[in-house]
Structure 1
């Protein structure tokens, strides 16, 4: 068994914007898969984009959509404005696709059961959607690959196991195998099918290989991963097995291996962690790179380059996952499993540079490695792919990369499945917009909420997603991308403070902070204000008065700011005593300890709700974020408003409150559309820097049912209050 130990300080050439003269991949468009449904179809059904390919001219994308049992087609003649070309029914579950010329070859699962697997290879004309032929494969197909000269295709016939049977482990028959079919005029020749056995080659389950992901090099050799068996098989151009070897193991250090649900602690290790690779791509005729996703017993959280003789040429160790952490995409809920889970793979050459695009499923990123020298890959970028990337296709002739992202969150009112398109540009990298790379320690972060500014630094808090690690992040917004420099842990008696949902922060003028915590009584989280010193220790706690607690709901303080001796807090939505579409701006005088409030008029929501996310003082006005809870194409209200300080005349609680006048300062939807993904729902933080520039940040929900994307934007100065 190959076992590799690597240094955690392995160098990576990240992050964005730092080398403007270099070529970079930037997102230029996203395509929501429901758009391919025909008029009159129920677009609320689950849909997906999993494996993706492109026609030879690079003008059409073809992807598999397992939930609908179709393949979808996208016109990318103008890659910045992709257009739907409709779906084609496969009468089965499409698992993979590759395009030769203008002909799509699609692996389709038609199995009745795990013990009676079956499948077919469908040949389809991409332009018309016409089915040209179908070949019986004799089992359940997984991945498909073709030779560069379009002379043959190969499929991994996985015959996957029933994970609910017994202990769910491999060792369940019938065994999987490989097949190879010749192509004539880019169509499969069914009677030329060659079955290639790969049983008896491994130690773990020699009778149940479950071949997973295959690729073909320039010599016509096939490399295939046997993920559950932690093995790789090399098949010669004549269809015979010429080599097979264990994928080996890695000693991982400085990782988070515990699902403590609420803290990013990278001090653990996993020694001898099996790679259990999924995706694989040939770099040249001798070397290939694998994505070590893991399955039953492993998952090495990185990538490895092998020579086809079985020698490990290079190992990423923990460095790829550390780059995920820097980007704010680390999926903490997966810590006790396989971490960020690199899964899919695409390798292609753009200009003189060979790239490997590694799809990191749980982090919703695509890692871009320069693999021109297979012994010394360099991590160049982390691309925001969309939720759960599964497949990718490169179109070097057009300078295009497309990723297929399988997760469709329609049932939860979230983002739909997307195909994301990137362009290879002579331009700075647009993502990430904020990173912790370069800090003195490894800083995990996410779920950013309220923000404030003082003495040249921005300070932001995380919310209750990281309830066991409440943190104030010190940020340098003068750099590009914005840099998280320091993590100040919020403590009570020296230990991580519990029962907080930090949604607002402001400085106290003396080096410390005031923090607003949004309460939730059913979880015993109080609505409260906290005075915190420069080291993060809570020095004072202020609960809400009886007048507010009598009418409270869970939608509490979402921001606070300090005006003179008075703290002002924005309540997200109506409490029990508020008229419809009115929410409170609550005041608390630090000297007199008096509470008061005014009413703020919210926009009415056609769908979902509208609420406040932030309040901050700038000049003679307070600026607020007012937003709906809608995402993607459904988003309608994301805006910055302001209220003159002179209008903030609080009345006593429990009586009629004065209604302030608001002015809409900026519609944020165009800003949120500019990154060319879907419009995120949670614009949470707002502050102004020393030059008067308005800064906003979005909340990525801790990468839970989210793409993980955080946008930190400098929107420039605002027009002064009249």
Structure 2
């Protein structure tokens, strides 16, 4: 009986789209972990899905929840409609779980301190939650793995370092070890505990190994990563070392290695970057893959395949990260650290094909690789996940893949931790919806804001102030599947990248150039303004706002711009001083006469948070606007397109009484957002309408900062 499935990743060119007859993975449901909290329990407490496993029949999921000190359980009898089964208290911090039949083996950290580590292995029934026994492990556990024949369980006893002590460097005693316990009648036998000694092996801090992750092959051999020691060990079930070797290093080229500059520049390098692997999984009885997360010094941003004799079989280099970059999921704020940060991994065989599922913690994606040839992995898909995927389990018997996403942003009013479920079935890949794959250069992108349809069949989009040092106009070919970013035009001022811009709107000027609207941030000395940009990206003119408009300014300025002849119309995101409650200005500017004017728009009254405007587009006899709240997930209510009769758009003089326009709902966008079977994202930012009435809509992924990084780009036809 195979008890553990694994996941690998490699970074080769991802295909544009699967043909209808192809088998692909697509997300079919999501489960928010607060749903497992009991009635009356404080659901505002932080919760987290980290390591996850399934019962042998594939009907029940069990995940570790460190903040709550519990394991959570989910009924996936219907995987498209997962149901909560509740939490079980573990009497400590659960760190990992593996399941034999219906018996869950849970590593639980009970340490008083870093210098006095302790932990236990708890066995319980995954269905009833009834505890069957506990074994003292003699240290702080991390990863748990089962022999594939169910004969033993092994635990990496990390005895982790204190990152605030001695610059966070090893050695920090006591040393870790590997625990191995026999299993009889489905329960670990505490009196058979072997503490395998793995000291004296690594070149880095050999006296203080920090075991991170274990896995077992069909031969009963255990592969172990020593992350901070940058070392790999292979043991037998008696705890004897069969082989050990350094995880080595990688020379990284064409990466962004500079943090916090608000620009994506993949022109840098890092020589001799230590791999410092986290997860490890056997591909077969000879080969295994490691996810090179880094921790103390390293992080090579990819994965490596080794033979158990220490031979390096394959190195992904930067290819995985480059594939992530093209899907818009690159986390710029992690550039000087570990980039996309591959951490978790799962490997399993579906319909005869061995797949590796590589989890990029900071990019919040899953790379799906065909591992038929361990020396030549093939990247098949990039899947969207929740924020910070930590663990995964494959259930090939049901054609399912499941990820556990640990980030819980309750303190920031953001999305909660989620478990996400994917189905392996015939049909095209639903994600990504927008990519720069196939462009002549490596184009990094994100934080897509305003859009406009060009007369050439292209859609033009801009990024917002998240990339404030790299304002860019992106050319999107919407006829491709997925839609393709084919060109990135940098906006410049006097030959240099233009700064002090917060671009939220774009429209064409009718002469090959563009008008762009900057929302402005007075707290960051970014002016509220509109700019005329020529076809080369050069700012040719800057139009500041008149005093009558600036008198009531706030940080929530222009969120869109559209053009009708010589008149530009801009929509203000939220009320400014003097505006009636729940009304915002639609501001006009005549590019010929320089005259300003405005009307008032009646937006929805928010139930929670605020409601604001995101876009404005003139088309035919109407102006179309996006109205959205700032709520996410289950709290989202208002994500809609409305239209205003063009006859209502008669601007009045600023400073006087403004007419109020009428509006008609065109489309509720929440069902569209939920059709990708994740949670409802908050920022619907882009709207473009072609001459034939095709509407394109896009979301802003916030530069993958406290965001899953998912960008949705889709279309529909106006009635």
Q: Which bracket does the TM-score occupy, shorter chain normalised?
A: over 0.9
Matched, 1:234 2:239: no
SS of aligned partner of 1:404: strand
Residue 679 of structure 1 aligns with which residue?
680
Checking the alignment, whether the CA contact within 8 Å between 1:16 and 1:430 is kept in structure 2 is no
Residue 623 of structure 1 aligns with which residue?
624
Deviation at 1:690, TM superposition (A): 4.3
Consecutive aligned runs of 4 or more in structure 1 exceeding 4 Å deviation: none
Residue 567 of structure 1 aligns with which residue?
568
Q: Distance in 1 between matches of 2:584 and 2:272?
A: 55
Q: Distance in 2 between matches of 1:84 and 1:448?
A: 35
Matched, 1:251 2:251: yes
Q: Distance in 1 between matches of 2:615 and 2:359?
A: 34
Q: Distance in 1 between matches of 2:114 and 2:543?
A: 60
Q: Distance in 2 between matches of 1:150 and 1:688?
A: 59
SS of aligned partner of 1:220: coil
Q: Distance in 2 between matches of 1:177 and 1:237?
A: 14
| TM-score calculated relative to the size of structure 2 | 0.98
Matches for 1:170-319 after TM superposition, within 5 Å: 170-319=170-319
Residue 7 of structure 1 aligns with which residue?
none
Residues 672 and 93 of structure 1: CA distance in aligned 2, closer, same or farther (over 3 Å): same
Checking the alignment, whether the CA contact within 8 Å between 1:144 and 1:214 is kept in structure 2 is yes
Deviation at 1:692, TM superposition (A): 1.7
SS of aligned partner of 1:228: coil
Matched, 1:77 2:109: no
Q: Distance in 2 between matches of 1:37 and 1:16?
A: 41
Checking the alignment, whether the CA contact within 8 Å between 1:16 and 1:432 is kept in structure 2 is no
Q: Distance in 2 between matches of 1:635 and 1:185?
A: 49
SS of aligned partner of 1:21: coil
SS of aligned partner of 1:379: strand
Checking the alignment, whether the CA contact within 8 Å between 2:52 and 2:392 is kept in structure 1 is yes
Number of positions where the alignment pairs a residue of Structure 1 with one of Structure 2: 709
Q: Distance in 1 between matches of 2:291 and 2:261?
A: 26
Matched, 1:358 2:331: no
Q: Distance in 1 between matches of 2:693 and 2:665?
A: 18
SS of aligned partner of 1:666: strand
Deviation at 1:15, TM superposition (A): 3.3
SS of aligned partner of 1:322: helix
Deviation at 1:94, TM superposition (A): 0.2
Residue 125 of structure 2 aligns with which residue?
125
Residue 3 of structure 2 aligns with which residue?
none
Residue 645 of structure 1 aligns with which residue?
646
Deviation at 1:187, TM superposition (A): 1.4
Q: Distance in 1 between matches of 2:341 and 2:277?
A: 10
| TM-score calculated relative to the size of structure 1 | 0.97
Checking the alignment, whether the CA contact within 8 Å between 2:13 and 2:323 is kept in structure 1 is no
Deviation sequence 1:280-319 (CA, Å, 0-9, x none)? 1100000000100001111000010000000000110010
Residue 97 of structure 1 aligns with which residue?
97
Residue 466 of structure 2 aligns with which residue?
465
Matches for 1:408-423 after TM superposition, within 5 Å: 408-423=408-423
SS of aligned partner of 1:87: strand
Matched, 1:335 2:335: yes
Matched, 1:591 2:563: no
Q: Distance in 2 between matches of 1:571 and 1:501?
A: 13
Q: Distance in 2 between matches of 1:363 and 1:522?
A: 29
Deviation at 1:16, TM superposition (A): 4.5
Residue 425 of structure 1 aligns with which residue?
425
Checking the alignment, whether the CA contact within 8 Å between 1:628 and 1:636 is kept in structure 2 is yes
Q: Distance in 1 between matches of 2:81 and 2:690?
A: 35
Residue 611 of structure 2 aligns with which residue?
610
Checking the alignment, whether the CA contact within 8 Å between 1:642 and 1:663 is kept in structure 2 is yes
Residue 63 of structure 1 aligns with which residue?
63
Checking the alignment, whether the CA contact within 8 Å between 2:11 and 2:321 is kept in structure 1 is no
Checking the alignment, whether the CA contact within 8 Å between 1:16 and 1:428 is kept in structure 2 is no
Unaligned runs of 5+ in 1: 1-9
Residue 373 of structure 1 aligns with which residue?
373
Q: Distance in 2 between matches of 1:11 and 1:410?
A: 33
Q: Distance in 2 between matches of 1:472 and 1:13?
A: 24
Deviation sequence 1:396-439 (CA, Å, 0-9, x none)? 00000000000000000101000000000111111000000110
Checking the alignment, whether the CA contact within 8 Å between 2:194 and 2:238 is kept in structure 1 is no
Q: Distance in 2 between matches of 1:275 and 1:127?
A: 39
SS of aligned partner of 2:466: helix
Deviation at 1:11, TM superposition (A): 7.4
Q: Distance in 2 between matches of 1:345 and 1:308?
A: 18
Deviation at 1:689, TM superposition (A): 2.8
Checking the alignment, whether the CA contact within 8 Å between 1:456 and 1:690 is kept in structure 2 is no
Unaligned runs of 5+ in 2: 1-9
Q: Distance in 1 between matches of 2:667 and 2:641?
A: 5
Matched, 1:712 2:713: yes
Q: Distance in 2 between matches of 1:465 and 1:184?
A: 56
